Amino acid sequence: MTSSNTPPSPLSLSAPAPLAGEVRVPGDKSISHRAIMLSALAVGRSEVRGLLEGEDVLATAAAMRAMGAQVERLGQGHWVVDGVGVGGLLQPDAQLDMGNSGTSTRLLMGLVSSHPITATFVGDASLSRRPMGRVIEPLSRIGAEITASPDGRLPLMLRGADTPLPIHYRLPVASAQVKSAILLAGLNIGAETVVEEPVPTRDHSERMLKGFGAELSVEPMADGGKRIAVRGWAELKPQTLEVPGDPSSAGFLLVAALIVPGSNITIHGVGLNPTRDGLVRVLQEMGADITKLNEREVGGEPVADLLVTHSALTGIEVPPEVAPSMIDEYPILFVAAALASGRTVMRGIEELRVKESDRIAAMAAGLRAAGVAVEELPDGLIVEGSGGEKVAGGCTVATHLDHRIAMSFAVLSLAAKTAITVDDRAPIATSFPDFLPLMQRLGAVQA
């Protein structure tokens, strides 16, 4: 994990020439977390290739080791996991350090909640500010006893239920993490656990649970949502998995190529699950030249190579209903909007205020400092674009320990008259440790 005592390492990039080349982004973060967890709950050895080796996923791997699974790295992105079986998690000897990973925390809370063990979850300063109430509430209904810090934050101690109870839970807000936490808890409950989601969210958990052999059903509801049910006391079977490229990481390279004149790049093997491809669809609506090549399926997920060419973007009003399919990509969409012609309006994204940072406020402040006109809304942001002209830049932006803020402004610096400096590159390692090497391979240089 990145130490809080490590001095900050600023970063600024420039593009002296068009970006060009072919690259592959690291494995999908959401899928990587779930691959480790479900492999640890199978009986036998699973093999995972293409695993993202960012700090967030390493936190998940360390936690599963602490609860009895054997998790071993064989090579770059190549891991094997010897699972303990559903119901076989062991009492960890020490606190589970989640670093900066909200996904690790919420999903592992779900796992522990239906096992008769106790775990204490801790995290870094950023994670410790993030509320866990939305997952504490349903897991308490299952029978878990949870003692959290004020406002439902870390550190927190969770004592799993000796006799966990099945629940039928309707999500009050769209959240793939809360949905997944409940489904993972349901694996060790001797009945059917049901989650209703009013707005469909990323479905990696459902796909992977089925792949590992869980009895799971997904049915549409009359209101447009989904009813997901999992049968407990599951016997998960070990798998050989390949993790597709992370669409969230690809988003930074996509936008970089779109805003640097003359650029033409290919990003290989990008996961394009329809619950995750919102950024590509929105950018294309803004006029982005993005072509899908070699469309195929990898590990049960749709994948394609993306050919991206510099484009003149036009501001649009982004439909709020697209938010669940791209909630993590809004910071880099704000950057694309800053270079578009006209106004881009983005609403219905209040979820961004409780991410690693308040991403709406942090991005608004940084964009203003870089000379971009923005209007901050309670649930979104309005960005007045430059029409393709370079933004002023010449500022230092606070990342607030948020990897997506750091990468977004590093990309914006490529289209600035004077370089934009990110106050600390260290948070980038949580999700995309190869970000800087890949950007340099495409032609970006450290300013």
289-298, strands of its sheet edge to edge: 20-24, 264-271, 301-309, 289-298
pLDDT tens digits along 239-284: 999 999 999 999 999 999 999 999 999 999 999 999 999 999 999 9
Report residue 53 as tokens.
Answer: 């080796």
H or E segment and range at residue 124? none
Q: Pick from 364, 382, 208, 236: which is nearest to 298 by CA? A: 208
Query: For position 23, what pLDDT does the model report?
Result: 97
- Which residues does 105 contact at the CB level (< 8 Å), separation at least 6? 98, 121, 123, 127, 132, 154
Ranges in the chain annotated CATH 3.65.10.10 = 13-27+244-446, 29-242
Task: Please name every residue paired with 36 in a beta bridge, in sequence order, or none if there are none.
Answer: none
179 assigned ligand-binding residue: no
Token pair of 190, please? 């001797």
Find out whether 29 is annotated in a ligand binding site: yes
Instruction: Please give the distance of CA 284 from its chain centroid, rounded to a whole number.
Output: 22
CA 394 to mean position of chain CA atoms: 30
pLDDT in tens, 327-383: 999 999 999 999 999 999 999 999 999 888 899 999 999 999 999 999 999 999 999
Q: What's the CA gap between 54 and 403, in Å, rounded?
A: 11
pLDDT at 5: 66
pLDDT value for 179: 98
Given the structure tokens 């009492």, which residue do they identify? 91
Quick check: helix, strand or coil at residue 427?
helix
**Residues in CB range of 328: below 8 A, 6 or more apart:** 248, 355, 404
Residue 404 annotated as binding?
A: yes
Q: Which residues of the chain have pLDDT under 70?
A: 1-5
Q: Is 130 annotated as a binding residue?
A: yes
24 appears as a binding residue in the annotation: no
CATH code for the structural domain at 29-242: 3.65.10.10
Is 441 assigned a ligand-binding role in the annotation?
no
Beta bridge partners, 168, equal 194
Do the annotations mark residue 175 as ligand-binding? yes
CA 44 – CA 202 distance, rounded (Å):
28
Q: Give the C-alpha separation, 349 to 111, whole Å.
A: 28
The residues assigned a catalytic role are 328
What's the fold here for domain 13-27+244-446?
UDP-n-acetylglucosamine1-carboxyvinyl-transferase; Chain (3.65.10)
- Which position has the token pair 């350090």? 97
Residue 222 DSSP SS3: coil
Torsion of CA 122, 99, 195, 221, to 10 degrees: 150
> Is 328 annotated as contributing to ligand binding?
yes
* pTM (2 d.p.): 0.88
Kind and range of the H or E element at 176? Answer: helix 176-186
The annotation status of 34 as a binding-site residue, yes or no, is yes
Residue type, 81: V
